[in-house]
Chain A
């Protein structure tokens, strides 16, 4: 199975700053079948990005995804207070689908 490693484990930033989250796969993710989710405490995950770079319905354009092969990035251009949460990447190009361990984005 494909192992996804997210870095950093925790990212401490201030509102208005730019956040860059990384997701590295143990082998190439076919057709850039990679998604990103946001999860806030006590809530279900929310889809942000699919196909490595396509924003899901209703997701603000400050969220963007990029990458291919084994290296993927989620960028939040200017952090809003509501963006502080845990972020997960997920690959769905190979069975079984797998998730990264998560990056916690916290307020500095």
Chain B
């Protein structure tokens, strides 16, 4: 059974940093691209960042480019999102999502999310 478990969310002040983690199990992690998707309270879904199976291809939404860094450790079956210079508009539930292939596709499995709140 595919499982994605996010952690690392919390309350942080504007300008602060946070590192999210996603622990994956139930599939061969290093065969698939992985993504972060966020959802602001009461709002829709927004793709944040994606990373190919071997970290050779990485992409970011314009809204986070230059502030967020995605990475993965295939030996630990883990995905990460380093978030710097956080803003109030980054407040959201952050989902880890699995790609069905090696590149940028749709998302066939999702975690339950970790909440990031940016507030003074």
Which A residues are within 8 Å of any B CB, using their own CB? 33, 35, 37, 43-47, 50, 56, 88, 90, 92, 95-102
A88 close to B44 (CB less than 8 A): yes
A90 close to B112 (CB less than 8 A): no
Which B residues are within 8 Å of any A CB, using their own CB? 44-47, 50, 59, 61-62, 95, 100, 104-113
Among A37, A46, A92, residue most surrounded by chain B Cβ atoms (within 10 Å)? A92
Smallest CB–CB gap between A20 and chain B, Å?
Answer: 20
Nearest-CB residue, chain B, relative to A34: B106
B104: which A residues are within 8 A, CB to CB? 92, 95, 97
B61 close to A101 (CB less than 8 A): no
* Complex alpha-carbon distance, A81 and B113, angstroms: 25
Smallest CB–CB gap between B56 and chain A, Å?
Answer: 15
Nearest-CB residue, chain A, relative to B112: A44
